[in-house]
Amino acid sequence: MENNLYLKEVKLSGYKSIIDVDVEFQNGLNVIIGKNAAGKTNFLKFLTKILSFKYESLNNFYAEFLFKNEKKNVFKSQRNIEIDELFNSNNLSNKVDYELIVDGKIIKDKKGNDETIIFDKFEKNKIVFDTTFICHGIFKDYLIVDKPYSFRIDNSKFRWSNDLQSIFGNPSNPYFIKCLTLDFILGIMNLKEEFDLDNFKELFKNIFNKTEKIKSTLKKYSPIEDIKFSDNFNIFISDDKETISVNNIFIEFKIDGNWLPFSSLSDGTKRLFYIISEVFENDENTHVRPTNIGKYEGQNQISRIILIEEPELGIHPHQFHKLMEFLKLEAQNKQIIITTHSPQALDAINSNELSRIVIAYSTSSKEGTKLRHLNENEIVKANEYIKEDFLSDYWLYSDLEK
């Protein structure tokens, strides 16, 4: 992970309780703890918006990120609305000032709000990443997982599918679904054989088999024993072979020896699948991955930054322990930042990794949310707990969050 791009420092202001935040993160796993109403969720949501270049709902704000790999990359973005503009909604500026600095050299200093322009500058300077935000619960419109999916392919447009593109190109869709639809898109476009029912069935079977490689990980870290794509999907090819309709694609789950739809799983198992499938990197899929703005790049060119809001919610403590094992393992090749109220999450941190703990707190509404690392005295106490018991006990039985 030495040259893997990761978020080293964040400066944010101008979103709800995020008035003035300055915090450093580590490559790999980072754990943000803090009391209710400390602003942890506001921080993650704000961070996601900026990393995804989604400025629509942001007015007066400032963001500065330090990305680290073999270079020092600084990205600044801000929007300042004048007081007189507030009285005329037609004059509200949607322009964002942004600046990219690579090893001290300014690459971009221009007004604009087109995320593709910003992303192109990032790409040319090898700053390519994807941000995944996993919020409370599960994704609401969970196509293929919770809802059967159907799509159409137009052979007259180079075997193109607007249906698949709309799913893949929507950055708010789950990473797992975007990867799967990308496999469909590239597989169909690269199909050299004639439009033939058997050829399509073989293509989809290969894609299904690649996607199902996640099953061993699910079996190890969740109650899910196996997954498969339902055999009930249908393919219809028009007589002129100009259009193909694929209907009723969805996943089934094996629990306690029984095959079930996603809707029949417990809430905790659904949550585990959602988190694991979003974080898991399937090397059996195509060697390209989606980016924040509906494009794709080579797998080795993209660094992933994953933000998870309270992964312990609805999950049994034993299963949560396994989940933290999984996240710690996956964090070897990506950056994962979680917020949590579970002391058990700290047990994934070793004595030489205490800088991975971040404490969120708020002293007043005027100052807003603050983030800090453990001070020297807290590090000494933490090491004492690690030697005697568990780091989670330090959070439970001390003044760590005072």
Task: Show me where the domains of the chain are located.
Answer: 6-128+302-397, 149-290
Model confidence at 91: pLDDT above 70: no
Model confidence at 84: pLDDT above 80: no
CATH of 6-128+302-397, one of 3.40.309.10, 3.40.50.300, 2.60.40.2480, 3.30.450.40: 3.40.50.300
Mean pLDDT of 157-174: 87
Mean of pLDDT over the chain: 88
Model confidence at 109: pLDDT above 70: no
**DSSP letters for 85-123:** GGG-GGG----EEEEEEETTEEEEEEEE--HHHHHHHHH
For 14-73, what is each residue's pLDDT tens digit? 999 999 999 999 999 999 999 999 999 999 999 999 998 888 888 889 999 999 988 899
Strands in 113-221 per DSSP E: 129-134, 149-154
Mean pLDDT of 330-348: 95
Q: Give the model's confidence band at 82: pLDDT under 50 very low, under 70 low, under 90 confident, else very high.
A: low
Q: Give the model's confidence band at 172: pLDDT under 50 very low, under 70 low, under 90 confident, else very high.
A: confident
pTM above 0.75, yes or no: yes
Q: Give the model's confidence band at 88: pLDDT under 50 very low, under 70 low, under 90 confident, else very high.
A: low
For 233-276, what is each residue's pLDDT tens digit? 999 988 888 888 999 999 999 999 999 999 999 999 999 999 99
For 284-328, what is each residue's pLDDT tens digit? 655 778 776 667 776 677 889 999 999 999 999 999 999 999 999
